[in-house]
Amino acid sequence: MAQFQVVKGAKDIFPEEIVRWHYIEGVIRSVTALYGFSEIRTPVFEYTELFQRGIGSTTDIVGKEMFSFLPDPNGRSITLRPEMTAGVMRAFLQKYPGGGVPAHKLYYVADLFRKERPQAGRQRQFTQFGAELLGVSSPAAVAEVISMMMQVFDSLGLQGLKLRVNSLGDLDDRARYRDMLRAYLEPFRDKLDEPSLERFDKNPLRILDSKNPAVQEIVAGAPKLLDCIRSEGRAEFDRVLGYLADRNIAYEVDHLLVRGLDYYGHTAFEVVSSELGAQDALGGGGRYDALSKELGGNVEIPAVGFAVGMERLIIAMEKQGLFAALTPHGPQVFVVLQDSSLEDQALRISDRLRHAGVSVESDLAGRSMKAQMREANRLMAGFALFVGQDEVASGNYTLRNLKTSEQFSLSLDAIPGVLHESSKQ
């Protein structure tokens, strides 16, 4: 029988790589804390209608990328979450039907599932770091959320990112714009590709972000959505831009930015990295005030948020050499046995040291001292602790620093102190 392989579009993450995830997650946790955001965890599956209503039935995600199934023959269809925003809003409305306190600040690092064609930076199971600010979506709130995202990138040392922003206006603005756009595109119909023609009736705005150069050439001359937005929405957008400029956050207004999820209105944004090739979007987000009502909420919950693809973040950081300083840690102490009859003693010593907060490894396979030393070096242990009959009898052990070869003769109780001192050097 052929050996089993990981499912197409999914990946295993081994310890060599997990250190990168832990490092990035540490930065995310500390930056989000600076802005007062706390973590939320929601189930990996939701009722399918949540995404149909929330993300929009004409979007690619709902149309063809969801992993959906029936839990039992008469049950309601369930879907593995393709994104977090709809689930977070659902959870929030369930807990706070009246809307709760003015601002809830939530972040997540979560696994998601989309049935896309796998390629570099595009998986079927992937992870997003994201944040949702629920209860307020003023220009200041939008700027705050964008600032937090950019501070995470900054703290990780990422360079060469581009922040693109646009305003999608409100429902009326978009309805007027849709008509204008169709009227503009009508004479080019025979030059549009298949996906664009499909979008022409259902969701013509998505034609604007086509990756096909022939379509891009056509839409370059299209009327601008921003010009259709009435004065109040326009003024709000200008305030967002003003706040970004105040915080020295460089941005570019991109008239073709529309995003692939239907819940957005007013400000939308995306961050792209030149390190990512075809899948160049590192993250994106925007305001989504209409989502709460769309999900059956009694009250409208103004909201703004973003999400960043962790795998893409790792690819971009790797290309910029930002993991070079991350060295894997070995155990502090490797217990080396003079002969295997002392195995019981060694286990007792390991146990005692571990309870004193020292990380310890020992040979569990009864190998020679030479093989044990090789293993200590392979694991990058800081110190070797030699255990023989004499040491056990006297209670005095030899501890060798494996980097400097300095040796100490000491009791077990003195070991944590010596390790502590050496970690400061």
> Counting contacts by CB under 6 A, is residue 156 touching ligand HAM?
no
Alpha helices, DSSP H only, in 220-256? Answer: 231-246
Site string for ligand HAM, 116-135 (x = CB under 6 A): x----xxx--x-x-x-x---
Ordered DSSP codes for 157-168: T--SEEEEEEE-
Q: Which is nearer to ligand HAM, 281 or 349 (CB)?
A: 281
Residue nearest ligand HAM, Cβ-based = 309
Q: Which is nearer to ligand HAM, 116 or 343 (CB)?
A: 116
Please report the sign of the dihedral spanned by the C-alpha atoms of residue 72, residue 74, residue 75, residue 77. positive
Order the strands of the 407-410 sheet from edge to edge. Answer: 360-362, 333-337, 383-387, 397-401, 407-410
Looking at this protein, which amino acid is placed at residue 128? Q
Q: How far is the CB of 337 from ligand HAM (least distance, A)?
A: 47
> Counting contacts by CB under 6 A, is residue 285 touching ligand HAM?
yes
16's CB contacts (< 8 A; 6+ apart) are 328
Torsions phi, psi of 70, nearest 5? Answer: -95, 120
- Report how far apart the first and last C-alpha atoms of the chain are (Å, whole number): 54
Q: Which is nearer to ligand HAM, 121 or 330 (CB)?
A: 121
Q: Which is nearer to ligand HAM, 290 or 415 (CB)?
A: 290
Q: Which is nearer to ligand HAM, 56 or 169 (CB)?
A: 56
- Taking each helix axis from N to C terminus, what angle separates 48-55 and 85-95, rounded to the nearest 10 degrees? 110
Site string for ligand HAM, 303-342 (x = CB under 6 A): --xxxxx-xx------------------------------
383-387 and 303-309 beta bridge pairing:
unpaired
Q: Are 232 and 128 in contact (CB under 8 A)?
A: no
Q: How far is the CB of 24 from ligand HAM (least distance, A)?
A: 13
Binding segment for ligand HAM among 168-176, 276-284, 354-362, 381-389 (CB under 6 A)? 276-284
Q: How far is the CB of 116 from ligand HAM (least distance, A)?
A: 5
Give the footprint of ligand HAM on this chain (CB under 6 A).
Answer: 83-85, 114, 116, 121-123, 126, 128, 130, 132, 260-261, 281-286, 288, 305-309, 311-312
